[in-house]
Amino acid sequence: MHSLRVRARSTTHKPWLLLTLLAVLAVLAGTTLAACSSTSSTTATTTTPEASHSAWVKDTVKLLNIFLPDANSDYYLNGFGTKDGARTVISGEVPAARYWSYTAYPIAAGGPVAHVHDSDIGQTNGHYTVTIAASCTGVKGTCLATSEAETSGMVVLRLYVPVDLNGAGTGGVPLPTITYTTNSGAPISLTQAAGTDTMEKTLDSYRSQHGVLPEVLARNYPPSSPVPVPVVDPPPQGRISSGEGKFNNPDNIYDHVRFSTSRGNLVVSAQAPTYQSDSLPTVNDLSRPASRSPQVRYWSLCIVLKDLHTGTCLRDSEIQFPSGSSRFTLIVSPTCPVAGYLNCLVAGPEPLQVSLSWRYLLPSPAFLPTAFRGPYALTASYVARPA
pLDDT in tens, 237-280: 999 998 666 678 999 999 999 999 999 999 999 999 999 999 99
For residue 112, what pLDDT is reported?
77
The pLDDT confidence band at residue 148, using thresholds 50, 70 and 90, is confident
- Same domain flag for 22 and 159: yes
Q: Is the pLDDT of residue 10 over 50?
A: no
For residue 8, what pLDDT is reported?
35
226 lies in some domain: no
How many H helices and E strands in the chain? Answer: 4, 23
Q: Are strands 142-145 and 3-4 parallel, antiparallel or unpaired?
A: parallel
Q: pLDDT above 90 covers what percent of the chain?
A: 80
Q: pLDDT above 70 covers what percent of the chain?
A: 84
For residue 42, what pLDDT is reported?
38
Q: What predicted TM-score, i.e. pTM, was given to this entire model?
A: 0.86
232 lies in some domain: no
Strand-pairing partners, residue 145, are: 133
Q: Cβ distance 282 to 317 under 8 Å? A: yes
The pLDDT confidence band at residue 110, using thresholds 50, 70 and 90, is low
Q: Which of 216, 251, 279 is the last residue of a domain?
A: 216
How far apart CA 376 and CA 359 sit, in angstroms, is: 12
Which residue range(s) make up the domain with 157?
A: 3-216
- Same domain flag for 194 and 247: no
Least-confidence region, from 101-105, 108-112, 204-208: 108-112
What is the CATH number for 284?
2.60.120
How far apart CA 282 and CA 330 sit, in angstroms, is: 17
- Same domain flag for 257 and 301: yes
Task: Summarize the confidence of residues 165-176 as an average pLDDT.
Answer: 97
pLDDT in tens, 113-133: 899 999 999 999 999 999 999
93 lies in some domain: yes
Rounded CA Rg of the chain: 21
For residue 245, what pLDDT is reported?
62
- Same domain flag for 17 and 117: yes
374 lies in some domain: yes
Q: Which residues, other chains included, contact 360 with Cβ-Cβ below 8 Å and sequence gap of 6+?
A: 252, 253, 254, 273, 296, 298, 299, 371, 372
Indicate the residue type of 276: Q
How far apart CA 240 and CA 235 sit, in angstroms, is: 16
DSSP-derived 3-state class of residue 199? helix
Phi–psi pair at 167, nearest 5 degrees: -125, -120
Q: Is the pLDDT of residue 143 over 50?
A: yes
- Same domain flag for 104 and 252: no
- Same domain flag for 35 and 156: yes
For residue 200, what pLDDT is reported?
95
pLDDT in tens, 54-89: 699 999 999 999 989 999 999 999 999 999 999 999
pLDDT in tens, 333-348: 999 999 999 999 999 9
Mean of all residue pLDDT scores within the chain: 87
For residue 109, what pLDDT is reported?
63
222 lies in some domain: no
Q: Cβ distance 346 to 303 under 8 Å? A: yes
Q: Which of 151, 184, 216 is the last residue of a domain?
A: 216
Q: Cβ distance 159 to 74 under 8 Å? A: yes
Task: Summarize the confidence of residues 228-241 as an average pLDDT.
Answer: 96
pLDDT in tens, 26-47: 333 333 333 333 333 333 333 3
How far apart CA 47 and CA 302 sit, in angstroms, is: 41
What is the sign, positive or negative, of the torsion defined by CA atoms of 27, 156, 71, 359? positive
227 lies in some domain: no
Q: Cβ distance 97 to 46 under 8 Å? A: no
pLDDT in tens, 305-327: 999 899 999 999 999 999 999 99
